[in-house]
Amino acid sequence: MAVSLWRAIVGGPSTGEDASGGIEFWNNPERSGWLNKQGEYIKTWRRRWFVLKQGKLFWFKESVVTRASVPRGVIPVALCLTVKGAEDVLNRQFAFELSTSNDTMYFIADSEKEKEDWINSIGRSIVQHSRSVVTDNEVLDYDSRPPSQSQNS
């Protein structure tokens, strides 16, 4: 079975510092703002605060991000091959997609300008941080644990 980009990491980090890889996501991000993100297992849309910094795209439940904040998930952009508009795929205005060799994630911005700004920022970051060998195990998504997964495992 292919490793899913959205697969939650069992026993993942318990603190923001562990999940951040030492990146100060709370301080001067390259880009930040609200996006709607589609879940992997339950295909609902969740509004999350996204922060792009030093080749990682973090997301949080709240827009107030401090040193103590714990990301709900993080995507190393080095995993990503493309970022492009996806209105035609989702039949939703201001939609875009972020794709790896195995999976595609979908997001919806609040306006055309926001969508284009995110696509441009993530695209620049992909170019700056891409490398030849990456694994899906580097993606941490705490919002998308399978419903059957127990917290006690």
Kindly report, residue by residue over 98-144, the tens digit of the pLDDT: 998 888 999 999 999 999 999 999 999 999 987 644 455 556 666 66
Give Cα 29 to chain centroid, integer Å: 14
Measured CA to CA, the distance from residue 99 to residue 87 in angstroms comes to 15
8 within a domain of the structure (yes/no): no
Does residue 73 belong to any structural domain of this protein?
Answer: yes
112 within domain boundaries: yes
Residue 26's SS3 state is coil
CA gap 120, 105 in Å, rounded = 16
Entry pTM: 0.74
**For residue range 59-87, what is the model confidence (pLDDT) as tens digits?**
999 999 999 999 999 999 998 999 999 99
Please tell me the predicted confidence (pLDDT) of residue 101.
86
- Residue 130: the pLDDT is 76
Residue 146: how many other CB atoms lie within 10 Å: 12
Does any domain span residue 18? no
φ, ψ of residue 121 in degrees (nearest 5): -65, -45
Domain membership flag for residue 4: no
CATH value at residue 117: 2.30.29.30
39 contact partners, CB below 8 Å, separation of at least 6: 6, 45, 46, 143, 144
The whole domain housing 70 covers 31-130
- Residue 34 near residue 46 (C-beta atoms within 8 A): no
Name the domain count of the chain: 1
